[in-house]
Amino acid sequence: MIFRQTFDSTSSTYTYIIASRSGGEALIIDPVLEKTDQYLRLLDQLDLRLVKVIDTHIHADHISGISELKDRTKCITIMGEHAPADVVSMKVKDNEKIKIEGIELISIYTPGHTDDSYSFIMNDRVFTGDTLLIKGTGRTDFQNGNPYDQYNSLFDRLLKLDDKTLIYPAHDYKGEMVSTIGEEKKYNPRLQVSSPQEYAKIMNNLNLANPKMMDIAVPLNKGESISEENQKKLIKELNISEDLEKKIKDRWNKKI
């Protein structure tokens, strides 16, 4: 198997490139728009053909690369069925199989961070999006997040997986790249609770600032348009690179 984990240092996002063999089909999970060229170069160097790309949920902290990857490779874009209409070409339900040559993923609906959050199991590992992070869990205070739903997703679904299951999250802010269900059960401070109420109390008192990119990333990732006036204002406020500004404008133009 070919398994690559790449990192976007601006949003601390992990992206996964998966294939069963060189010369075969590939799948990408949670790509970041600015890194599209890097993914395409890597696919080319590994002699892989991108056929499917998945977002675990509508991201608020970065602009997803799935639409640009679709435009450039004609791959199928995938999200869970709770994602807003029209952002992807294929939607999956809970416990559905996603296949590429020699690889099979199983979707699990794990709401809580957002109401459209999915995790994906592949053999000995699980891609947890922002539902279960390494020694943390994804915030539940926007995009229809709900700490009680997240508690159920964690305790009734993800933590029921074998203790040896490898965890590959969508982000890490401290440099850890992989964990296991067993380690998280023992050492993840958010999981040391005895009731949903106790978990919700922790999550409701985090008082985090909104992600810097949120006002641009959420509408773009949902496929919603923004007025030209608003676009200018948001870009000015963000102080982003020329390259990213060009990519954002390009995506906006394609939405209209």
Q: Residues in the site for Fe ion, rule: CB under 5 A? A: 130
Instruction: State which residue, 8 or 130, has the beta carbon closest to Fe ion.
Output: 130
Residues forming a β-bridge with 19: 2, 26
Q: How far is the CB of 109 from Fe ion (least distance, A)?
A: 16
Reference 7, options 124, 121, 173, 246; nearest CA is: 173
Instruction: State which residue, 171 or 247, has the beta carbon closest to Fe ion.
Output: 171
Q: How far is the CB of 26 from Fe ion (least distance, A)?
A: 23
Q: How far is the CB of 58 from Fe ion (least distance, A)?
A: 8
Which residue number has the CB closest to Fe ion? 130
Q: How far is the CB of 222 from Fe ion (least distance, A)?
A: 13
Instruction: State which residue, 116 or 130, has the beta carbon closest to Fe ion.
Output: 130
Q: Which stretches within the chain are classed as H helix? A: 36-45, 66-73, 147-152, 181-187, 196-204, 214-222, 228-238, 242-255
Alpha carbons within 13 angstroms on the beta-carbon side of residue 54 total: 30
Q: For 35, which DSSP code?
A: G
Instruction: State which residue, 140 or 179, has the beta carbon closest to Fe ion.
Output: 140
Q: Are 192 and 33 in contact (CB under 8 A)?
A: no
Q: Are 11 and 61 in contact (CB under 8 A)?
A: yes
Q: How far is the CB of 59 from Fe ion (least distance, A)?
A: 5
Q: Are 100 and 19 in contact (CB under 8 A)?
A: yes
Token pair in block for residue 92: 């999956």
Instruction: State which residue, 130 or 149, has the beta carbon closest to Fe ion.
Output: 130
